[in-house]
Chains A and B, each alone.
Chain A
């Protein structure tokens, strides 16, 4: 990467952003806590202020890193540290989703059949919930939030699957173009990826609106609603974040950042995007189809 100081690992000094980040995080969660705990939440201004501080921190922090990178302060070893950081961060995200998938599998394999009288659940079923059959999908023996319908996997969700899979291809094409030093192509395919991500999010919003208004499928619709909305919701948040990240990468390519042989920022975002894609495939199979 850099010809300067090959053996010198760049250690930044006087980091001002972390403490800003801590203040931002704390402000955000305090805002959220106050909203949750108050009778009339109103507009969560404190939380918005926290988000604003976090955004400010991210602009500043990433800005510093980009500046240092463009000034050739990073050798290949620093680059490797960043790569490892991103890989293990994505692994932590995988484990976060694993927790929610685990809840889904547990409910489907154990708790719902037990409530329906399987295994040792016979007495529970007959005494507490007579007549409950324990078949997935379910809003539980209490029929929480009343009758609901589930989303047909072969309409919007299938389209969304194709959109995300396509976007994984477009970002790969953009990557190849970047490596071939073809900037115009890189920008075009990145913009295509952003658009695909945005359409996915638009359809996901449509789907939620349909679920709430027409299907009566809500977060409060028992364990089905809980797992459905929490899994797809966290995934949607990750797609939102990924789309913003790709948009920023696009701007950076337009600004002339990255070189064919060194473009960690681009790659990190691409990895993240593939991760989001893989999670969606898990969702499509286990939440929508099965």
Chain B
């Protein structure tokens, strides 16, 4: 049965095709992948604004040397909470939201494989972040030892330690369940004639991301459990007097943490791999090599963790091994960059907002990648370590990488979600405003770091004043640009030009065969889909 017929039936409406009535039934008790995707995206956006507000406080304090606005301890709370909220509250849930919305539509599935658990994965998050954010208002304040939670510093926090540990546990439970759902959906719910090598690259990157999540979130849970028992039950995991070692925490944390950074970027690779072919009007160059490159990056991510710890005092053999292993990651990543560029080569390109963000992604993520290769060199990393150079590096890969990927995805798919085209002029304003300001924000931080300005410090030597002022101005502008983004999204959801099913003339994929907005239920009956509609349907 072709999917078109399914949709006709859907629009005629069996009883259960109607959206549930009432707020509680529609949102609290939902099992619908589209509604849950929407919840994830809204939650991620709210956390993005909250974490962004904290970033504004950080940039405000750093606008000038000296202490102007906040206490040093509160400053440290802001850097810690900003990172935790952005990583676990904004970027990860945003990608899960995109996965929820798009994966079933892209593979011809009626829903996620385990719809009830899908609901639970989401509804743990608001509770987890309420627990975490509540520490801001209690005696002693929020965790201030950095998002990496290194002992012994983090254990010197007050009441917040237990809140931090259990909030991380809850986030982990949510992520693991979400990842299990994604894997089961992709492996078990593809339409009968959709093979693994017919899948869109976004689906592939998420399959690999989900595997990473299931492999490393439990390790993080173990690490924070050890923190908890060291603090409250007299264990000695990270206490040298008892035979333990604080460095042990760093090893366990980064065994989670390095795959984690790929968890935050691989789905963005997937998003731009959907967008660039659409607006270059050419099939993705080197589809299979993209799949292998993604898998290679994921594999390498497990064996390079200690490059975050070059300055901690490892044996020389360890430093050398982790240095060379890390540099190997540049190879599959280079394959990806090459393929995106080759996809655009001689394409008939147009530059709608999703494409602009994707292009910026390719260029700016590469800058972040280059500074990553610089820091992979153990001898020079001793100079860069814990300076603003690393701050610049990971904000290039996470803001102009992951966040730009998410924003590109939102512009690309919002017509499918809302049924309305966004306003192209406003989208372009948002793009240029964001892209210019984000570079003013983060590029000077490279220079600050190379000149020796340490991270996580509220005050600095006057020689750093000028670049910090630029960085703060860029920061405020970038923050405002995202407030403007809320307006653009809100305007699109409320109204605007009606979107067709196809939306983008160059787009291929099953998601463009269903009406816009996508009906509450799609692909309800399993059956073969039209492989011609898929980007990689026939070639592989």
CA distance A93 to B181 in the complex (A): 16
Q: Which of A9-17, A193-201, A207-215, A252-260 forms part of the interface with chain B?
A: A9-17
User: Using an 8 Å CB-CB cutoff, how does the interface string of B214-230 with A read, 1 for contact, 0 for none?
Assistant: 11111101110110110
Write the chain B residue with the least CB distance to A229: B235
Q: Which of B254-284 contact A (CB under 8 A)?
A: 255
A119, CB-defined interface residue at 8 Å: yes
Number of interface residues of A (CB under 8 A): 69
Neighbour of B110 across the interface among A9, A111, A222, CB < 8 A: A9
- Check if A11 sits within 8 Å of B243, measured CB to CB: no
User: Using an 8 Å CB-CB cutoff, how does the interface string of B227-262 with A read, 1 for contact, 0 for none?
Assistant: 011001111110111111101100110010000000
Neighbour of A220 across the interface among B25, B113, B235, CB < 8 A: B235
Q: Chain A contacts of B116 at CB under 8 A?
A: 12, 15, 17-18, 61
Question: Which among A81, A91, A144 has the greatest number of chain B C-beta atoms within 10 A?
Answer: A81
A173, CB-defined interface residue at 8 Å: no
Please judge, given known A-B contacts A92-B176, A95-B218, A230-B226, whether A15 and B124 are in contact too, CB under 8 Å.
no
Please judge, given known A-B contacts A19-B29, A140-B240, whether A226 and B113 are in contact too, CB under 8 Å.
no
CA distance A112 to B236 in the complex (A): 12
Q: Chain A contacts of B180 at CB under 8 A?
A: 84-85, 88-89, 92
Q: Which of B162-179 contact A (CB under 8 A)?
A: 162-163, 166, 169-170, 173, 176, 179
- Check if A95 sits within 8 Å of B215, measured CB to CB: yes
User: Using an 8 Å CB-CB cutoff, how does the interface string of B103-120 with A read, 1 for contact, 0 for none?
Assistant: 000000111011111011
Q: Which of B342-350, B377-385, B520-528 forms part of the interface with chain A?
A: B520-528
Neighbour of A223 across the interface among B117, B184, B214, B243, CB < 8 A: B243
What total count of A-B pairs have CB within 8 Å?
A: 224
- Check if A84 sits within 8 Å of B218, measured CB to CB: no
Q: Which of B277-316 contact A (CB under 8 A)?
A: 313, 315
B123, CB-defined interface residue at 8 Å: yes
Neighbour of B526 across the interface among A7, A16, A26, A144, CB < 8 A: A7
Question: Which among A7, A99, A102, A128 has the greatest number of chain B C-beta atoms within 10 A?
Answer: A99
- Check if A84 sits within 8 Å of B162, measured CB to CB: no
Nearest-neighbour CB distance to chain B for A144, whole angstroms, equals 5
Write the chain A residue with the least CB distance to B187: A84
Nearest-neighbour CB distance to chain B for A141, whole angstroms, equals 6
Q: Chain A contacts of B173 at CB under 8 A?
A: 25
Q: Which of A32-40, A241-249, A267-275, A278-286 forms part of the interface with chain B?
A: A32-40
Q: Chain B contacts of A119 at CB under 8 A?
A: 315
- Check if A223 sits within 8 Å of B236, measured CB to CB: yes
CA distance A67 to B262 in the complex (A): 40
- Check if B131 sits within 8 Å of A26, measured CB to CB: yes
CA distance A9 to B104 in the complex (A): 13
CA distance A16 to B187 in the complex (A): 27
Q: Which of B134-191 contact A (CB under 8 A)?
A: 159, 162-163, 166, 169-170, 173, 176, 179-181, 183-184, 187-189
What size tier do the contact residues of chain B reach? Answer: 35 or more
- Check if A18 sits within 8 Å of B119, measured CB to CB: yes
- Check if B242 sits within 8 Å of A22, measured CB to CB: no
- Check if B252 sits within 8 Å of A102, measured CB to CB: yes
- Check if B218 sits within 8 Å of A140, measured CB to CB: no
Neighbour of B162 across the interface among A32, A80, A91, A219, CB < 8 A: A32
**9 A-B pairs with the lowest CB-CB distances in the bound complex, closest first:** A99-B222, A142-B241, A140-B243, A18-B120, A223-B243, A111-B245, A140-B242, A220-B234, A222-B242
Q: List residues of B whose CB falls within 8 A of some A CB.
A: 16, 20, 25, 28-31, 109-111, 113-117, 119-120, 123-124, 127, 130-131, 159, 162-163, 166, 169-170, 173, 176, 179-181, 183-184, 187-189, 214-219, 221-223, 225-226, 228-229, 232-237, 239-245, 247-248, 251-252, 255, 313, 315, 524-527
Chosen A-B contacts, 11 in total, with CB atoms closer than 8 Å, are: A7-B527, A29-B131, A77-B526, A84-B183, A107-B245, A140-B236, A140-B239, A142-B241, A219-B229, A220-B233, A229-B235
